[in-house]
Amino acid sequence: MTDPNTPGRFESKNIMSSNGQASNEVALPGKGYRMAFNFNSALFKVLVDYLKPEEKEMILDLGCSRGYYVKAMEDYTSGVIGVDISEDSLKNAVTARVKYGDITNLDFAEGSFDKVYSLHTIEHLPDLGRFFAEVARVLKPGGTAIIIYPWELFRGMQAIGAAIRQYRNPLLASKIHLHRLTPKSIGGFITGTPLAHRQSKLVFAMGIQYMTILTKRS
């Protein structure tokens, strides 16, 4: 693995990038917020190391944007699907294995997926209770969910740059990140669901983020 504080060079035959990242910007639906990068290869390597995808497994990417991580995951399984609510992003998708949908109200049957992941999405969602309820519903018993979200001393800390670009006002970063999240707060959101906390850790890959690993009880 490369220096965790710089873009990695984790190879994927499906992602062509000279510096470990795809730099096209995309709009976040309803916010006008533009993400700086669509693909972080160092973060993808961490995801693969912990998700351990296997061929023929059904894997769901929640908040997939243009589908860069979905496309990279196709190296490991033909059963990966991404869902995003941004029609603009999906019109410019880099893979056909993405679809339009509300990730707090999924149209998949119960127990459809072996594994689920979501990268830097949940901090933008108003209703995290519904999000985690849907993760629990679509996961198979014993299935794994990996959620990656920003480490912040205060809400919006890691969205200051985006707030300056979008609003020309760093004080509006809290309009972009609707929550300051920690593993403890995630534990509160999964209370009453079949999801159990397995592990949380800090990940250094183009910034600092939390990774929380959940398991659906059998």
How far is Cα 63 from Cα 66, in angstroms, rounded to an integer? 9
Residue 206: per-residue pLDDT: 87
Residue 15: per-residue pLDDT: 54
Residue 1: per-residue pLDDT: 28
How far is Cα 105 from Cα 109, in angstroms, rounded to an integer? 11
Phi, psi dihedral angles at 117 (to 5 degrees): -140, 155
Residue 12: per-residue pLDDT: 57
Closest listed residue to residue 37, CA positions, set 13, 61, 21? 21
User: Which amino acid is present at 31?
Assistant: K
Residue 209: per-residue pLDDT: 98
Structure token digits, residue 15: 């992602």
Structure token digits, residue 125: 């969602």
How far is Cα 118 from Cα 196, in angstroms, rounded to an integer? 17
- How is the chain split into domains, by residue range? 21-216
Beta-bridge partner residues of 113: 139
User: pLDDT tens per residue, the chain (218 residues)?
Assistant: 223 333 333 445 555 443 344 333 334 434 444 445 689 999 999 999 999 999 999 999 999 999 999 999 999 999 999 999 999 999 999 999 999 999 999 999 999 999 999 999 999 999 999 999 999 999 999 999 999 999 999 999 999 999 999 999 999 999 999 999 999 999 999 999 999 999 999 999 989 999 999 999 98
CATH architecture of 21-216: 3-Layer(aba) Sandwich (3.40)
